[in-house]
Structure formats: structure tokens, C-alpha cells
């Protein structure tokens, strides 16, 4: 699923685009890209470009999603049941963030049932570098916007805040993995894992993330947590679009 989402996002940015260019951009085997292109085409998310040989563009399912604004369906109402399930399974606090210019805003939260937990009030404005929910959004903004962020003098919130070339590498990794990781980059005692929810053109609608105290951080579980947020993002996308999540 993570690979499918990465391919879908890249096609949205560079359509029409062929499997060779996708494989190079995402650092994936061409055979893997071709397999996922076939799956995405079968579900209507991609179609062959009419005027380009072996190139792909966004399909009717993605176009329909773009037409159906999430505000129309009530993004919070759509996301809240998914957030509750994620909080219940992870036992950690779950946040929903939406992009607002060069920052993002936390618009929903489901608290961890554990007595020691992270907390940010709804309406908190967060940077796009540092928090996982912010980086999940930044990784899917336009290349020009990302380049501007990388070249600018971004504030270092902690000694672990990633900037410059390291941030560029992180954003590429996020697009491939389908989730962002923050280990003490915004607040030194907080760890976050988040995935984006993208519209039909590959633009970030919002991001969903798990947040926990660094004392509960287990590097061996990052892939598990990342998969959980990616599945939650797919579930929100499915609820917004009225389709099954990509598998």
C-alpha cells in the first residue's frame, strides 16, 4: 500500500510519467513499479496517457476524489472513527493536522488512555519541519515549495531538528515509505509517526499521526507504527472518496 501511495503521489506531480522515470524517482525496481501501476489502473486511480506511449496519468477515481472536497463531507467527522481505532490499537495520542500555508494546524485529537501522554491543544499551529504530521504534509507539497523550505534558514527546535540536505533526504524517504518519523526533532521528549492523506492530484489534504513520550519510543516498532498510520490514512481517504482503501 505504501508503494501504491508513493506512486500515486509522484504521478500526480509529474503526469504523464512512465515506469522507468517512476522507478528512478522513487528508487524502486521497475518490476515493482509496473506491478503497482497495474493495480492502480484496475481500480481506476490511473489511466494510460492518451498522447504518450507507456506513460500514466491520474484516472477517474482520483479525479472524482478531487471534485469531492473533504470539507463537504466533514473531515473531522470522517477521520474521528479512524483516529479512535488508531488510538485504541496504539495506546498513544492521535492527531489530525491540515496544511495552512507554510504551517499546519491541529484540528482533531484523540487522547492516549495512558496517564503519561503528549498533549497539544486543538488549533495549535505546527511547523512543517520537525513534527511528523508537518513533515508528512511537506513531503507532498510542490517541489518548488520543498526546495524553498530546504534552502531557507529553518529554526532548530532541538539539537535533533533536521535541516538542509538531511531534510531533503527525509522527505524523499517519506514519499517512499508512506510515513514520516520525528524523534525529538520538534520537542526533545516527544516522538511522532504520521502519514498524509492526499487528494486526487497528490496534494496533501491533511495528515494523521501517533504521538508518544520518548520514554515509550521503541525503534524496532517504527515500521509497525508507520504501517498503522498509513492504513489509517488510507481509511480516511476511502471514507472521503467513497472507495475501498488501496491494498
Residue 194: what pLDDT? Answer: 98
Q: Is the dihedral of CA 119, 173, 208, 135 positive or negative?
A: positive
Percent of the chain with pLDDT over 90: 54
Tell me how far the alpha carbon of residue 206 is from its chain's centroid: 8
- Residue 230 predicted with pLDDT over 80: yes
Ramachandran sector of residue 58 (left: φ over 0; alpha: ψ -120 to 50; beta: rest): beta
* pLDDT, mean of residues 159-174: 95
- 136 contacts 195 by C-beta, under 8 angstroms: yes
Q: Element (H or E) spanning 237, and its range?
A: helix 222-241
Residue with cell 505504501: 2
Per the model's pLDDT, the better-predicted residue between 77 and 88 turns out to be 88
pLDDT band at 73 (very low <50, low <70, confident <90, very high): very low
Residue 11 has which C-alpha cell? Answer: 504521478
pLDDT in tens, 10-33: 787 677 788 888 888 888 888 888
pLDDT band at 65 (very low <50, low <70, confident <90, very high): low
- 190 contacts 214 by C-beta, under 8 angstroms: yes
Instruction: Note the helical H segments in 27-103.
Output: 30-42, 60-67, 70-73, 75-90
What is the spatial distance between Cα 212 and Cα 117, in angstroms, rounded to a whole number? 6
**pTM here?**
0.69
pLDDT in tens, 173-199: 999 999 999 999 999 999 999 999 998
How far is residue 152 from each of residues 145, 146, 155, measured CA to CA in Å? 11, 10, 9
Closest CA to 194 of 168, 167, 212: 212
Per the model's pLDDT, the better-predicted residue between 4 and 219 turns out to be 219
Amino acid at each position: 500500500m505504501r508503494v501504491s501511495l508513493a506512486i500515486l503521489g509522484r504521478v500526480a506531480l509529474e503526469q504523464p510519467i512512465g515506469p522507468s522515470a517512476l522507478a528512478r524517482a522513487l528508487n524502486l525496481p521497475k518490476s515493482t513499479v509496473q506491478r503497482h501501476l497495474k493495480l492502480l489502473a484496475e481500480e481506476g486511480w490511473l489511466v494510460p496517457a492518451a498522447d504518450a506511449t507507456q506513460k500514466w496519468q491520474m484516472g477517474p477515481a482520483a479525479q472524482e476524489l478531487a471534485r469531492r472536497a473533504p470539507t463537504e463531507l466533514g473531515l473531522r467527522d470522517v477521520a474521528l472513527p479512524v483516529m479512535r481505532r488508531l488510538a485504541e490499537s496504539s495506546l498513544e495520542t492521535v492527531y489530525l493536522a491540515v496544511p495552512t500555508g507554510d504551517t499546519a494546524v491541529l484540528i482533531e485529537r484523540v487522547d492516549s488512555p495512558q496517564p503519561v501522554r503528549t498533549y497539544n491543544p486543538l488549533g495549535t499551529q505546527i511547523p512543517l519541519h520537525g513534527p511528523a504530521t508537518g513533515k508528512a504534509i511537506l513531503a507532498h507539497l510542490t517541489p518548488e515549495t520543498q526546495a524553498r523550505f530546504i534552502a531557507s534558514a529553518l529554526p532548530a527546535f532541538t539539537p535533533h531538528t533536521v535541516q538542509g540536505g538531511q531534510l531533503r533526504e527525509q522527505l524523499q524517504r517519506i514519499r517512499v515509505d508512506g510515513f514520516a518519523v520525528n524523534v525529538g526533532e520538534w520537542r526533545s521528549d516527544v516522538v511522532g509517526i504520521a502519514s498524509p492523506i492526499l487528494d486526487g492530484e497528490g496534494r496533501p489534504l491533511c495528515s494523521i499521526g501517533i504521538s508518544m513520550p520518548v520514554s515509550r519510543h521503541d525503534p524496532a516498532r517504527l515500521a509497525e507504527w508507520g504501517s498503522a498510520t498509513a492504513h489509517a490514512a488510507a481509511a480516511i481517504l476511502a471514507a472521503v472518496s467513497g472507495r475501498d482503501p488501496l491494498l
